[in-house]
A and B are shown apart, each in its own frame.
Chain A
Amino acid sequence: MGQQVSVNPFVLDIDGDEPCLVGGRCVDCGNVTFPRYAGCPKCAGSNIEPIELGREGTLWAWTVQGFPPKSPPYLGANDAKDFHPFGVGYVELPEVIVEARLTESEPGKLKEGMAMKLTMESLFKDEEGNDVVTYAFAPAE
C-alpha cells in the first residue's frame, strides 16, 4: 500500500502535522520568495535561509485552466476526455503572494479577497503506488 508523497519536498513539506510551503528569506533585506533562490532578486544578496510560509491567506487574483496542460511538464492526468478544469490563482500569505492551484473551479464561487487555506491535491500515482500530491488552496469557509 503506497503513501502520500510530496511532488517536491523543496517547496512542499508534508512530514509535519499539517502541510506547509517552504520559501526563502533574504537575511540581508528580509524579502521572501517562493521557492527559495540562491540569490535575492530584491537586494542581490546571497544570504538566503529557508522559511515556512503561513497556511492561510486571501485570494489576490485567479483564473480557471480550461484546457488540459501539456505533458511534459504536467504530471497530472491530461486526457482531453477526462480532463476537468481547475482553478489557478495567487494567494496573498502573510509573507508573500504565491501562485497555486485552487480546489474551486467555478468562476461564480471565486472572488478576490476571499479567505483561503492551504491543502493538498493528488497529481498521480508513482511506480511504487504512492499518491504524489501538490499544494493547492481551498476556500476557508
Chain B
Amino acid sequence: MQSDVAIVGIGMHPFGRHEGVTGMEQGAHAVREACKDAGISWQDLQFAVGGSAAAGNPDTMVSMLGLTGLQFVNVNNGCATGGTALSTAYNTIKAGMADLGIAIGFDKHPRGAFASDRPVHPVDGGRDWYGGSGMAINPQFFAIKINRYMGKHGISHQTLARVAAKATRNGSMNPMAWRKQPFSEDEILQSQMLAYPLTQYMFCSPGEGGVALVLSRSDQAHKYTNTPIYLNAAVMRSRRFGSFEVKASWLPKDDEVGPTADASRAAFELAGIGPEDVDVAQLQDTESGAEIMHMAENGFCEDGEQEFMLERGETEINGRLPINTDGGCIANGEPIGASGLRQVYENVLQLRGGAGPRQVPNDPKVAYTHVYGAPGISGVTILSK
C-alpha cells in the first residue's frame, strides 16, 4: 500500500512498575533504543513530538538526550495521547516540513483506579455531587456498558474470562510485558468482583512505560532500515451527540455511534482497505469487555459474533484475526501516554516478522491499532509493509 511516511526505528522501555525511575527517564530510554534501531543518533532528528499525561512536559527530555535545538512539540490528549504524538509526526513529514522525526510516549501513574479530584460536571459553587456520591469511577462505566451489551448480544461471563486469559498468555511470551504470569479462565472468574460483571483479573491497571518511533519520508526509508513499515492512516475522533461515554451523568435517548466507529471508518477510508484485509489488530482492552465491544465497533465482526469467535480461538495468535498479541493493556498496564504507541510498536514487530514466540504466522502484511479513552476519544492507525 502507498504511503508517504514510514516507521524506520522502534524503541521501548519495559512496561510495569519501576521504583526510582521517572516516567521521563523511561521515555528517554525508549528514544535511545529507537535511534539505535534506526541506526541514527539523536542529533540526526529534525523534530520530536512527545506525549505524557502525568509524567512531566516531554520537551524537557532534551536535557537528558542532547540540546540540539530541534523542534519539540508536546501533546496531551487523554488516552489518545500516544496516537496524537504519532499522527502529529506523520502530518509533519507528510506536509513536507521535515524528513526525519520521532514520536514519543511515556507515563507513570500511581496505583489504583484512575480518579479525578476535580469535579467532572458543573457544581454551581456547591459540593462535587457526582464524584462525591460514588460515581465518576471509570470501571463503573466499562462494567455498565458491557453488562448491557452482554444481555443484548448474548455474550457470556466465560467469554469475558477468555479475553483476559488470552491477554495473560500472550503477555507471558512478551519480555516487555508487566504481567508475565498466565491466568486460567477459572482464576479470572474467581478473582474479586470489582464492578459486576468484571473481576479484578479482567482489568488493566494504571502503570508505567515508554515507547518511541522514528519516522521518515517513505522514499528515504531505505537509508535506515531494510524493513520499513508504512503508516497508511493515523486518525483520531471525539464523541458525537448521543454516544455513551465514561463519566456521563446523563444520556439522551437518541442512539448514536461512538467515536471508535467514526475513527475506524475514517482510517479504513484513508488506507483504502477494509477490516477483512487486516492480519493482526491491537484493540483497547481497558478490561475484557472493552476488547469484545471494540471488535464490533472497529468493524471486525457483527455484535454477538464475539461469543463464538472467542470460543473457537479466532483471536489467538494463530487464529483468523489475532488480537492483542503483546498481551494488550491487561498484561502491560496502562501508562496513558505510552499505550497507543505500544500497540504500534507491537504491530511493527509483527510486520517485520520479529515478534519471536508470539509471532503471527503466515507473514502478516496489514496491522491495525485502536485506543479508546476518556472523555470519549478514539485513535486508530493502519500499518502495512
Contacts and interface: CB of A to CB of B under 8 A. Distances in A.
B195 A64 contact: yes
Interface residues of B, number: 44
A97 interface: yes
A27 to B, nearest CB: 17
Nearest to B241: A42
Contacts of B193: 64, 66
Interface string B137-157: 100100111011001000000
Contacts of A139: none
Given A7-B129, A10-B126, A112 B194 contact: no
Contacts of B137: 65, 69
Interface string B12-37: 00000000000000000000000000
Given A66-B195, A74-B132, A8 B124 contact: yes
B250 A88 contact: no
Interface stretch (B80-88, B110-118, B359-367): B110-118
Contacts of B102: none
Q: DSSP class of B's interface residues: helix, strand, loop or mixed?
A: loop
A7 B133 contact: yes
A132 B145 CA distance: 30
Contact of B148 (A41, A61, A74, A88): A61
Nearest to A67: B194
A99 B148 contact: no
* Contact-residue size bin, chain A (C-beta under 8 Å from the other chain): 35 or more
Interface string A107-141: 10000100000000001000000001011000000
Given A8-B124, A35-B249, A61-B148, A70 B115 contact: yes
Contacts of A60: 148, 251
A33 B133 CA distance: 18
Contacts of A42: 241, 252
A73 B131 CA distance: 5
Interface of A: 7-12, 23, 31-38, 41-42, 60-67, 69-70, 72-76, 86, 88-90, 92, 96-101, 107, 112, 123, 132, 134-135
21 contacts: A7-B129, A7-B132, A9-B126, A10-B129, A37-B122, A61-B144, A63-B196, A65-B140, A66-B194, A66-B196, A69-B137, A72-B131, A73-B132, A88-B134, A88-B135, A89-B144, A96-B250, A96-B253, A98-B249, A98-B250, A99-B135
